[in-house]
Amino acid sequence: MELWQQPAHGLQKLLSKGEISARELMAAHLERLREVEPLVQSFITLTEETALEQAAQIDQRRETKEELAPLAGIPLALKDNFCVQGLATTCGSKMLENYTAIYDATVYRRLRKAGAVLLGKTNMDEFAMGSTSEHSAYHISKNPWDITRVPGGSSGGSAAAVAAGEVSCALGTDTGGSVRQPASFCGLVGLKPTYGRVSRSGVMGYASSLDQVGPLTRDVTDAATLLTLISGYDPLDPTTIKEAVPDYGDFLLSEVTGLKIGVPREYFQGADPEVAAVVWEGIKLLEKMGAKIEETSLLSTDYCSNAYYIVAVAEASSNLACIDGVRYGHRVQADNLEEMYIKSRGLLGPEARRRIILGTYILSGDAYKTYYLQAQKVRTLVKEDFAKALEKYDLLITPTSATTAPKIGARCGESPNLYPEDDYNVAVNLAGLPALSLPCGFAQGLPVGMQIIGKPFGEGTLIQAAYSLEQETGYDKMLPDVVAVDSKGVV
């Protein structure tokens, strides 16, 4: 097996046994990157030089027999909304094209301390607004399984980079599915932790009450490692919880006997029948392995998407008010103040503009009561709905997305709620719960993800169930070929 085909834990073993050097490991990924990056276009910024320097430093430490950190030499990618000191952090926007971060996001600091080596910053929908990564102001990333299709979004670049073997793991942010859904489209494990589990310090906010950072990895073992490393209280983020972080590696057990799993029927009704069938196959397998499966209902499902879009755009309009050309962002010279604002903000893409305008309206005058307060009430009902279901069940299982990855261009249009995919992801963010997307098969030759939802801070149980199923199915071993197509999309 080529080095770039291995998950991080496989590479770690080779490195600690002295079978490969960190430089060899990095060189293998860089070679792969040069081969496939022109096709998948995962990155906005590459940090090849510093990556090679850091790999050399790790090799020096190996030579002096220093104990290696758990991710020593592992090539990592970060979505371009994570601040890394001295590097451009564009958030997929032309507004921030010239912005250089002045400090490191806490999660990056933690991974760096654990030895991970940053290979670059990945493409994303502008300010994380979108489900396909087509709203990036830079370029459109492609799905490594079929480059005529999107990798999902908004963390599409991170997902494409891991699936194509350019890096072995990546971080994304999940406000309403942006880690889980691209993981599902690209055949990866994507984990959205409980709200408050992982620090958001140094991560540019989209909707602060919904955002969480999560890992995108080849398999569940890597997801457990990354989650353990990035989790925990951070004085720089007051929403992080002061609760001990388990070693999630302790949950890598192939055992589901007695686990009670609820399957909410609403999540299958609008799904592509092939996708639904693949997810059901996975559920039946869990049953055969000893889990107790029961169909159930989440009556709030129909209202989630509307409530989500109201809360998300309202918070976004407030978070992004500082990207105005005065405090942050590109500034266009003009004759007067108003013109300067208008021209500067003209650099925002249509989707970001639409959402900022809508969010500003929602928070103004009577609209606040009509929309925002109503949405918050619905959010409470959604939370209660899940809390009730999770009293009865240890886990809930749904498809991660109603469909497989759509063709590039198929989801472009004028309304923010264009994405049937979002309907399956946003409830988890409204309720602040942890959820994981696990590859569970293929439909029309494209990866299908199973969404496993857990109790607050129940990431361990998610990992255990996902690991058990992964051991049975082996979908983590399947990688895309990444093949070029002609202008008609033919291989």
**Least distance in angstroms from the C-beta of 317 to ligand GLN:** 13
| Residue closer to ligand GLN, measured from CB, 154 or 231 | 154
**CA gap 435, 191 in Å, rounded:** 6
Rounded-to-integer distance, Cα 459 and Cα 229, Å: 13
What six digits make up the tokens of 358? 């809508």
Spatial distance between the Cα atoms of 464 and 470, rounded to a whole number of angstroms:
10
Q: How far apart are CA 335 and CA 173, in angstroms?
A: 39
Q: How far apart are CA 397 and CA 447, in angstroms?
A: 17
To the query of whether residue 79 is one of the catalytic residues in this protein, the response is yes
Joined together, the tokens standing for residue 408 give 């590039």
Determine, following the binding rule CB under 6 A, whether residue 120 of this chain makes contact with ligand GLN: no
**Least distance to ligand GLN from the beta carbon of 14, Å?**
34
Q: Can residue 128 be called a binding residue for ligand GLN (CB under 6 A)? A: yes
Q: How far apart are CA 251 and CA 461, in angstroms?
A: 7
Q: CA-CA distance, 467 to 216, in Å (whole number)?
A: 15
- Please tell me whether residue 176 binds ligand GLN under the rule CB under 6 A: yes
User: According to CB under 6 A, which one of 73, 177, 205, 215 is a site residue for ligand GLN?
Assistant: 177
Query: Is residue 267 at the binding interface for ligand GLN, with CB under 6 A as the rule?
Result: no
The one catalytic residue among 21, 136, 141, 154: 154
For residue 103, the minimal CB distance to ligand GLN (Å) is: 22
Annotate each residue in 76-115 with x if it binds ligand GLN (CB under 6 A) or - if it does not, as one string. ----------------------------------------
From residue 2, give the alpha-carbon distance in Å to each of 5, 28, 32, 162, 215: 5, 8, 10, 14, 23
- Contact between 310 and ligand GLN per CB under 6 A: no
Give 128 or 186: the residue with its C-beta nearer to ligand GLN.
128
Q: Does 130 bind ligand GLN (CB under 6 A)?
A: yes
Among 154, 168, 401, 451, the residue binding ligand GLN under the rule CB under 6 A is 154
Task: Catalytic residue, from 42, 155, 168, 178: name it.
Answer: 178
Q: If binding is defined by CB under 6 A, does position 206 make contact with ligand GLN?
A: yes
Binding to ligand GLN by residue 352, rule CB under 6 A? no
Give me the residue whose beta carbon is nearest to ligand GLN. Answer: 178
* Nearest residue to 176 (alpha-carbon basis) of 361, 316, 318, 374: 316
Q: Which residue has the tokens 């997810």?
A: 279
Quote the radius of gyration of the chain (alpha carbons, Å). 21
Residue 459 near ligand GLN by CB under 6 A:
no
Burial of 98 (0-12, 13-18, 19+ CB in 10 A): exposed
- The piece of 27-35, 168-176, 289-297, 368-376 that touches ligand GLN (CB under 6 A) is 168-176
What part of residues 379-438 is at the interface with ligand GLN (CB under 6 A)?
419, 422
Contacts of 238 by beta carbon, 8 Å cutoff, 6+ apart = none
Give the nearer residue to ligand GLN in terms of CB position, either 32 or 197: 197
Residue keyed to tokens 């806490």: 106
Minimum gap (Å) between residue 131 Cβ and ligand GLN: 4
For ligand GLN, which residue of 12, 41, 158, 175 counts as binding (CB under 6 A)? 175
Omega before 184 cis (within 30°)? Answer: no
* Residue 242 burial (C-beta neighbours within 10 Å; 0-12, 13-18, 19+): exposed
Active-site residues, by number, are: 79, 154, 178
Q: Please give the residue ranges that form the binding site for ligand GLN (CB under 6 A).
A: 128-131, 154, 173-178, 206, 312, 419, 422
